[in-house]
Amino acid sequence: MDTILVVNAGSSSVKFQIFSVEGEGILRRQIKGQIDGIASRPRLRASGANGETLAERAYPIEAVANVPAAMEIAGSWLRDELRIHPIAVGHRVVHGGPDFDRPVSIDHGVVARLERFVNLAPLHQPHNLAPIRSILAGFPSLPQVACFDTAFHRTHSAVADHYAIPHRLHAEGVRRYGFHGLSYEYVAKALPRVAPDIANRRVIVAHLGSGASMCALNEGRSVESTMGFTALDGLPMGTRPGQLDPGVVLYLISEKGMSASNVQDFLYRDCGLKGLSGVSNDMRELEASDDAKAKLAIDYFVYRICLNAGMLAAALQGLDAFVFTAGIGENSATIRARVVEQLGWLGVSLDHAGNSRNSRLISRSESRIPVYVVPTDEELMIAQHTLSLLMKQPSGNSRQERAS
């Protein structure tokens, strides 16, 4: 059975999935796994296609001290115990910089170019590149593909891509990139099947997970995003503040004496729903809490989604549909109901029964703008890109060179 390995490596975890290639480009998910607690309490957990547990193991801290070590453990579990030898590996890479507007086959030259974007995403890019480098070293002939969170947004116009700062900074890469591109691309590709009437029109997609952003799609292409240079901007998130006056950062530095790395930690880890509520970064816990600050954090989250919906509708010069996706968007009927209620001025009206069942279409038939829930699948998107780049390579190449 030909398989594709998808890898999503972060600072403390390596998530991986195995897809089998069935017939003409059809992919079926076979395994979902992750090694988390890298350098703290390492654990391998994996489940099969029907959710059955395949592995649940703890490792001593010194055995999994970094991302390459985690990748080695996941790789040898797949190879030696499950006899899985993927024909290619697709990686989630957060930053493709200004140049990469689509996935790319990886070689040493591409890795060198991607290293240049480490300073644009210092918390993510090095961890994304680590398993790429280990696989290049251990299995030099195994095809690898990099899929970027920024690539889908490279269609933005110049006004959407700039900040009002001197041009030289734009030239060196200080731009409004936008992120969650693999999720938006998946949703854009799913819309012709899910909602053919609106797929080629003006659509706002709200990706509401631990990280959260919104994207304006016109004819299936991204024209605007709430995120910018980094994944800090836009909506409030689990632990990130979203839009923040840069003056607050200056205040933290000048009045609070915080260093750049203190500020970075603070903005990525201590703000957002967690900072505002003082209760949790997890929406389920906030919804279950009676704490007034948890309520304020939810109110703020909903308010900012609706403010940003107005901004994106202006970018689109109108609106034909609204889509919810990701952990909160797919599962929280309460958040969806509150957002749709606050967008009532746009002529949106909710089908409460459909919403509480997490139906695909959750607006009433008389709603001027239909509202959908479309579960995202970034890993499938990566597997599809990987397979299609593999197919474009000189014939036979990939299959002869698989890892053994």
Residue 384 is inside which H or E element, if any?
A: helix 378-392
Contact 311, 195 (CB under 8 A): no
Instruction: Determine if 326 is a binding residue for ligand ADP (CB under 6 A).
Output: yes
Shortest Cβ 302–ligand ADP spacing (Å): 13
Report which residue's Cβ sits closest to ligand ADP. Answer: 327
143 in the Ramachandran plot: left (φ > 0), alpha (ψ -120 to 50) or beta?
Answer: beta
Instruction: Determine if 209 is a binding residue for ligand ADP (CB under 6 A).
Output: yes
Instruction: Determine if 275 is a binding residue for ligand ADP (CB under 6 A).
Output: no
Site for ligand ADP in 97-156 (CB under 6 A): none
| Total site size for ligand ADP, rule CB under 6 A | 13
Q: Please, which residue, 231 or 321, has the CB nearer to ligand ADP?
A: 231
With 0-12 CB in 10 A as exposed, 13-18 as middle and 19+ as buried, what is 174?
A: middle
Cα 57 to Cα 7, 45, 49, 51, distances in angstroms: 19, 7, 19, 17
Shortest Cβ 180–ligand ADP spacing (Å): 9
Instruction: Determine if 327 is a binding residue for ligand ADP (CB under 6 A).
Output: yes
Shortest Cβ 9–ligand ADP spacing (Å): 14
User: What's the number of CA atoms in the CB half-sphere (13 Å) around residue 360?
Assistant: 6
The b/e string for 223-237 (b: 16+ C-beta within 10 A; e otherwise) is bbbbbbbbbbbbbbb
Site for ligand ADP in 23-62 (CB under 6 A): none
99, 149, 282, 291: which one is catalytic?
Answer: 149
Site for ligand ADP in 331-370 (CB under 6 A): 331-332
Q: Please, which residue, 93 or 135, has the CB nearer to ligand ADP?
A: 93
Which of 116, 284, 357, 360 binds ligand ADP (CB under 6 A)? It is 284
Contact 14, 7 (CB under 8 A): yes
Contact 227, 180 (CB under 8 A): yes
Q: Please, which residue, 188 or 390, has the CB nearer to ligand ADP?
A: 188
Cα 258 to Cα 121, 137, 254, 263, distances in angstroms: 20, 40, 8, 6
Q: Does 149 participate in catalysis according to the annotation? A: yes
Just list the catalytic residues: 149
Residues near ligand ADP (CB under 6 A) are 209-211, 238, 282-284, 287, 326-328, 331-332
